[in-house]
Amino acid sequence: MKRTIIAIVMAMMTIASFAKKEPTPVQQWGQLKVVGTQLCDQNGNAVTLRGASLGWHNRWPRFYNAKAVKWLAKDWNAKVIRAAMGIMIEDNYLENPSFALDCIEPVVKAAIKEGVYVIIDWHSHELKTKEAVKFFGKMAKKYGANANVIYEIYNEPVEDSWESLKEYSKAVIDEIRKYDPDNIILVGCPHWDQDIHIVAESPLEGYNNIMYTVHFYAGTHKQYLRDRVDAAMQKGIPVFISECASMDASGDGKLDKSSWNEWVEFMEAKKISWVCWSVSDKNETCSMLLPRAKATGNWTKDLIKPWGKIVRETLRMKNGNEE
């Protein structure tokens, strides 16, 4: 009897070893493209990317590693991971470019290995055209052949007019397209990525596979911003929500779960991709982890803060994972 049981177990293990693995997001969807207002896969079918953003690299460099990326991809079921390269605050990319690249590039390489999409995010609130052109040219030349890569060329403009942002965006996009003709490029909107209605009146022309970013914090941004997004999409503007969370716009305060659920329902109905802020351990509501959480993943529920639990559960549910 014992031999029979052992034989059955070994047979099951053999079958399992030959079982076809689930395709990774990039294996499944391949080269992304924009069709009308919709992000689509290589065959033109609508795709909604859902994932998580790492915090500023110059504040939380410890999470910028391959094991953390793998954990987010496998356990949280993130289909896209955002690498927020800080252009402001001390020890930023402009002050210490080698340190920044030592953080960003392992994340990009790990995302490629894990088969998920990765956003290379120029995390700034001020225009730095010359520096951004040089950086994104370098990234496009090095990683542009990989369908995983998405470029976010300006995180959150604050004081810049849309006209100045258009000139900046054209310069950066033109440089990227020298080396990468088709990966998705995300363009920032005025006023903390809120004024999508201004963009809708005068969008960029002559470019393919670009989308415009909107950021929301559900405790502050309510129906009025969803109405702006809806109206912009009706005018043909493709929208990608590259940063969002459930508290107020400071990143702190109480979680507004009701407003968050309204946003999720809206994004899902419109098939808008979204990325949650942030994988970090700061003492504020939007940070997803406790300081004692390891840098390399394996985060048990007792190490995940309330917002992080919501993000993980939502990603696993919406991206088709069991909980």
| Tens of pLDDT, residues 97-154 | 999 999 999 999 999 999 999 999 999 999 999 999 999 999 999 999 999 999 999 9
Q: pLDDT, tens digit, for every residue of 260-275? A: 999 999 999 999 999 9
pLDDT of residue 320: 86
323 catalytic per annotation: no
Task: Note the pLDDT tens digit of each residue in 126-137.
Answer: 999 999 999 999
Does the domain made of 31-318 have the CATH classification 3.40.50.300? no
pLDDT of residue 1: 46
Q: Sketch the domain layout of the chain as residue ranges.
A: 31-318
Going from the C-alpha of 159 to that of each of 16, 127, 176, the distances in angstroms are 56, 9, 25
Catalytic residue among 114, 152, 175, 243: 243
Q: Residue 15: count other Cβ atoms within 10 Å of its Cβ.
A: 9
Specify the pLDDT at position 12.
46
Distance between CA atoms of 312 and 323, rounded to whole angstroms? 10
Question: Which residue is associated with the tokens 């079982």?
Answer: 19
Q: Indicate if 322 belongs to the active site.
A: no
**Cα separation of 31 and 247, whole Å?**
34
- The one catalytic residue in 114, 152, 156, 175 is 156
Tokens standing for 239? 């929208």
The reported pTM is: 0.94
Burial class (CB in 10 A: 0-12, 13-18, 19+), 46: exposed
Q: Average pLDDT over the chain, rounded to whole? A: 94
Type of residue found at 131: E
* Residue-wise pLDDT tens digits, 11-33: 444 434 434 589 999 999 999 99
Rg (CA), the chain: 20
End-to-end CA distance of the chain: 36
